[in-house]
Chains A and B, each alone.
Chain A
Amino acid sequence: MKRGVVIRLTGVNVHETGKTLVRRLVELGGNAECVDDTVTMLDADSRLESRSLDVEVAEYDTPDFAAEKILDQLSELGLVDLENTGYTPEEEERIRARLADLGYID
């Protein structure tokens, strides 16, 4: 039996939001599926306890934005790690050198 976090979506654009949420969870290194209006975060090791979350998608939210709001909620619950500095080590060094060139830092 699959275990994981179950996210039930209601409101508008739920199907698109669900698909987007699954894509983002996979991008973040997880595994998820969307069936009807329910997204299940799957944990291969079954370490995640079964847990459910009801989310209403706001009428003015695009599927992308709605999915990111859900990810923020999941992150606050400790269920998803959103930590991402956005820089590779090479990019970080390039930015550091640029900031020094601009005089902001040594």
Chain B
Amino acid sequence: MPKPFQRVLVIGIDCATPRFLFGPDRFDLPHLQRLASAGCWGRLESCHPPITVPAWASMMSSKDPGTLGLYGFRNRKDHSYDGMFTANASAVKEPRVWDILSRAGKKVVVLGVPQTYPPRPVNGWLVTGFLAPSTDVDYTYPKTLKAELEQAIGEYILDVKDFRTDDKDRLRDQLFAMLDNRFDAAQYLMNDKPWDFFMMVEMGADRLHHGFWRYCDPQHPKFEPGNPYENLLRDYYQALDRHVGDLLRNVGDETAVMVVSDHGAKSMTGGVCVNQWLIEEGLLTLERPVDKVTRFEECTVDWSKTKAWSSGGYYARVFFNVAGREPQGIIPAESYEAFRDEMVARIEGMCGPDGAPMGNRALKPKDIYRQVNGVAPDLIVYFGDLDWRSVGAVGFDSVYTFENDTGPDDANHDHYGIFILDDRSGRGGVEMTGLQLMDVAPTVLGLFGMDVPADMQGRAVLSS
């Protein structure tokens, strides 16, 4: 059994993508790559769905989204047609690794981890993530940390503002400012507070990929050579790497260091107007047809003639209108599974605008989760296995759109993020395979020499 570590540092980079750190296209990132070549590294398979919420909660609790009962940022409260809630920290009912460490007497610092607002007490200090409404609220634990932090670093930046802006210079500048701000906060907390476990997450890489992919990826359909942002992904990752290097100067061999991401990113081809498709398939009926692009929530649905509807985003959540379950359900309960199988076949059989099969995936929660809690979608759908996003609005001329309904977005999420662990055992850069998001929390506990709770679904990735 390896000797337990006194301290563990986890640096989270939302959406950090393996190809930029590990692959032949990798950027020159000396600090991150030195960590990887000293320890072990690999792709980290995300959860279903591979999205910030619930991925970070799944990672740090080692429970799958079905067990958490969280299937995205917005979830159905009940089986009504419009009862939804935003899944913030209050929705996470399973202990995360800092809760377990707190109860064991370890001092923890948690900075910017998604789904930590509103702040819950820890044995240490917590600064919530971007789901805090603003910095006017109490976004820290203890409450006094807010004023202390703002005195130390100035305004704390929760997220970029006006992400959908066409002013790309402004967006770029905000991303770098937020990066600097997050690491300023990390440096302050790391040096001022006595900690055993320190975890931070920076969101900027996610915003960067979504906002600038087309300018940086020559394979993107909208790429224009010589554009002013052509090297922005590289520049950002290198700035991030420098910050990581500066942070690592604060720790020595007593600290195991992990760098992780919740999912990756890839080029996005376009959007599938899923509710439009359901209408054309005769599965969804509106009381009044629309004559322009209209948000689905603004439409009046004829539920007596509707079997399915969907929520959009980077993936689709498809819901069925089941008799005895939904208020005006029409699918007989005894036909539910047969209907679901039919929907899987229809969705996975979809062809794209070029007539070729899209490669869609339609997943049943019962097949992918240990438990299905809360009100789960009936199907989780990845169009083109995430080459396409899902658009919930209706009123389009076609099921396929190449213009975003909400504004510029060039990338979708991908199923694999990154994992780097330097446990100071001189592994020499071993590539690990088969790593999954839920392995991170057990690994943290293992690094402290603590037992992994039996209900954690992942495994500890330890020195051997």
Residues of chain A touching chain B, judged by Cβ–Cβ distance below 8 Å, are 58-62, 64-65, 68-69, 83-87, 91-92, 94-96, 98-106
Closest Cβ of chain A: how far from B243's Cβ, in Å? 23
Closest Cβ of chain B: how far from A39's Cβ, in Å? 17
* A interface footprint on B114-154 (CB within 8 Å = 1, 0 otherwise): 00011011110000000101000000001000000000000
Q: Does B86 contact A (CB under 8 A)?
A: yes
Q: Does B407 contact A (CB under 8 A)?
A: yes
Chain B contributes a number of interface residues (CB within 8 A of A) equal to 45
Q: Does B241 contact A (CB under 8 A)?
A: no
Q: Which of B255-263, B307-315, B430-438 contacts A (4 or more CB under 8 A)?
A: B307-315
Q: Does B164 contact A (CB under 8 A)?
A: yes
- Across the two chains, which residue of chain B brings its CB closest to A102? B163
Known A-B contacts A68-B120, A106-B392; A101 and B406 likewise in contact (beta carbons under 8 Å): yes
Other 7 A-B pairs with CB < 8 A, given A65-B122, A101-B407, A106-B406: A91-B133, A101-B163, A102-B163, A103-B210, A103-B404, A103-B409, A104-B52
Contact B312 A105 (CB under 8 A): yes
Contact B118 A105 (CB under 8 A): no
- Across the two chains, which residue of chain B brings its CB closest to A88? B133
Closest Cβ of chain A: how far from B414's Cβ, in Å? 15
Which of B51, B90, B295, B296 lies in contact with A104, CB distance below 8 A? B51
Q: Which residues of B lie under 8 Å from residue A84 when comparing CB positions?
A: 90, 118
Q: Which B residues, 72 to 118, have Cβ-Cβ distances below 8 Å to chain A?
A: 72-74, 85-86, 88-90, 102-103, 105, 117-118
Contact B102 A65 (CB under 8 A): yes
Q: Which residues of A lie under 8 Å from residue B88 when comparing CB positions?
A: 85-87
Contact B105 A106 (CB under 8 A): no
Q: Does B278 contact A (CB under 8 A)?
A: no
Contact A65 B405 (CB under 8 A): no
Which of A95, A96, A106 lies in contact with B405, CB distance below 8 A? A106
Closest Cβ of chain A: how far from B309's Cβ, in Å? 12
Q: Which B residues, 399 to 422, have Cβ-Cβ distances below 8 Å to chain A?
A: 404-407, 409
Known A-B contacts A104-B313, A105-B74, A106-B392; A60 and B105 likewise in contact (beta carbons under 8 Å): yes
Question: How far does the alpha carbon of A30 sit from the alpha carbon of B51 in the complex, in Å?
Answer: 38
Q: Does B201 contact A (CB under 8 A)?
A: no
Q: Does B391 contact A (CB under 8 A)?
A: yes
Q: Which residues of A lie under 8 Å from residue B296 when comparing CB positions?
A: 106
Contact B312 A106 (CB under 8 A): yes
Q: Which residues of B lie under 8 Å from residue A105 when comparing CB positions?
A: 72-74, 311-313
Contact A100 B406 (CB under 8 A): yes
Question: How far does the alpha carbon of A21 sit from the alpha carbon of B105 in the complex, in Å?
Answer: 20
28 contacts between A and B (CB under 8 A): A61-B123, A64-B142, A65-B121, A65-B123, A68-B121, A69-B103, A69-B121, A84-B118, A85-B85, A85-B86, A85-B88, A86-B88, A86-B90, A87-B133, A91-B133, A101-B163, A101-B406, A101-B407, A103-B210, A103-B314, A103-B404, A103-B406, A105-B73, A106-B295, A106-B296, A106-B297, A106-B313, A106-B405
Q: Which residues of A lie under 8 Å from residue B89 when comparing CB positions?
A: 86
Q: Does B393 contact A (CB under 8 A)?
A: yes
Question: How far does the alpha carbon of A45 sit from the alpha carbon of B102 in the complex, in Å?
Answer: 37
Contact B122 A96 (CB under 8 A): no
Q: Which residues of A lie under 8 Å from residue B74 when comparing CB positions?
A: 96, 99, 105
Q: Does B266 contact A (CB under 8 A)?
A: no
- Across the two chains, which residue of chain A brings its CB closest to B130? A98
Q: Which residues of A lie under 8 Å from residue B172 when comparing CB positions?
A: none
Closest Cβ of chain B: how far from A30's Cβ, in Å? 18
Q: Which residues of A lie under 8 Å from residue B85 when comparing CB positions?
A: 85, 92
Q: Does B389 contact A (CB under 8 A)?
A: yes
Which of A59, A83, A99, A101 lies in contact with B73, CB distance below 8 A? A99
Interface centre among A62, A68, A98, A103 (most CB of B within 10 A): A103
Q: Which residues of A lie under 8 Å from residue B72 when comparing CB positions?
A: 104-105
Question: How far does the alpha carbon of A106 sit from the alpha carbon of B72 in the complex, in Å?
Answer: 12
Question: How far does the alpha carbon of A101 sit from the alpha carbon of B118 in the complex, in Å?
Answer: 21
Question: How far does the alpha carbon of A106 sit from the alpha carbon of B86 in the complex, in Å?
Answer: 13
